[in-house]
Amino acid sequence: METLRLSELLVGLSLVADMGMGLEPGESARAALIATRLAEYLDAPDQRAVYYTSLLQHVGCTAYAHEAAALLGGDEIAVKGAAVRTDFTRPREVLLEYLPNLAPGAGALTRLRVAGVAAARSRQITDGYTRANCEVAALTARRVGLGEGVERGLGDIFECWNGKGGPRGIAKDDIALQARLAQVAAVGGLFDRLGMAVEAVSTRAGKALDPAVCAAFTGQAGAILGELREVDVIEAAVDAEPAPAVRVSGPGLDAACRAFGEAVDLKSPFHHGHSTGVAELAAGAAERLGLPDVDGLRRAALLHDIGRAGVPNGIWEKRGRLDSGDWERVRLHAYHSERILSRCGPLAACAPLAGMHHERLDGSGYHRAAVAASMPLEARVLAAADVFVAVTQERAHRPARAPDEAAAEVSADAAAGRLDADAARAVIEAAGERPPRMPRPAGLTDRQVEVLRLLSRGLSNPEIARRLVVSRRTAEHHVQDIYARIGVSSRAAAALYAMEHDLLIDR
- Compute the distance between CA of residue 401 and CA of residue 328 in angstroms, rounded to an integer: 26
Same domain, 22 and 164: yes
Q: Identify whether 496 is part of a domain.
A: yes
For the domain that residue 470 is a member of, what is the CATH number?
1.10.10.10
pLDDT tens digit sequence for 192-227: 988 999 999 999 999 999 999 999 999 999 999 999
CB contact set of 273 (below 8 Å; sequence gap of 6+): 262, 265, 393, 498, 499, 502, 504, 505
Question: Residue 435 has what pLDDT?
Answer: 66
Q: How far apart are CA 89 and CA 481, in angstroms?
A: 37
Q: At what angle do helices 122-144 and 250-265 cross, to 10 degrees?
A: 160
Residues 239 and 286 in one domain: no
Rounded CA-CA distance 19/77 in Å is 8
Residue at a domain's end among 190, 212, 247: 247
pLDDT > 70: what percent of the chain? 97
- Could you tell me the CATH number of the domain that includes residue 136? 1.10.3210.10
Same domain, 416 and 291: yes
Q: Which residue has the higher pLDDT, 473 or 87?
A: 473
CA distance 25 to 234: 9
Does residue 100 sit within a domain? no
C-alpha 137/C-alpha 190 separation (Å) is 20
Max mean pLDDT among 88-92, 106-110, 386-390 falls in 386-390
CA distance 38 to 157: 17
Do 329 and 198 have their domain in common?
no
Reported as a pLDDT band with limits 50, 70 and 90, residue 460 is very high
| CA–CA gap between residue 394 and residue 303 (Å, rounded) | 20
pLDDT value at residue 86: 83
Q: Is residue 111 part of a domain?
A: no
Do 276 and 387 fall into the same domain?
Answer: yes
Which of the residue ranges 65-69, 398-402, 431-435 would you say has the lowest mean pLDDT? 431-435
Domain shared by 314 and 417, yes or no: yes
In a domain, 345, yes or no: yes
Give one word for 484, left, alpha or beta, with left for phi > 0 and alpha for psi -120 to 50.
alpha
238 plus 255 within the same structural domain: no
Which of the pair, 83 or 419, is modelled with greater confidence?
419
Say yes or no to pLDDT of 436 above 90. no
Q: Please say which residue of 247, 270, 289 terminates a domain.
A: 247
User: Above 70 in pLDDT, residue 52?
Assistant: yes
Asked, for residue 113, whether it belongs to a domain, the answer is no
Residues 326 and 201 in one domain: no
Q: Are 465 and 399 members of one domain?
A: no
Distances, alpha carbon 126 to alpha carbons 79, 359, 459, in Å: 12, 39, 20
Q: Which of 411, 431, 451 is the last residue of a domain?
A: 431
Residue 266 sits in the same domain as residue 233: no
Residue (of 3, 157, 172) closest to 84 by Cα position? 157
133 close to 63: Cβ distance less than 8 angstroms: yes
Among 141-145, 430-434, 441-445, the least confident range: 430-434
Both 33 and 132 in one domain: the answer is yes
Q: Which residue range forms the structural domain that includes residue 445?
A: 441-500
- Sequence-distant (6+) residues with CB within 8 A of 189 are 27, 30, 31, 33, 34, 197, 228
Does 22 reside within a domain?
yes
pTM for the model stands at 0.94
Q: What is the rounded CA–CA span in Å between residue 132 and residue 5? A: 29
* Within a domain: 119: no
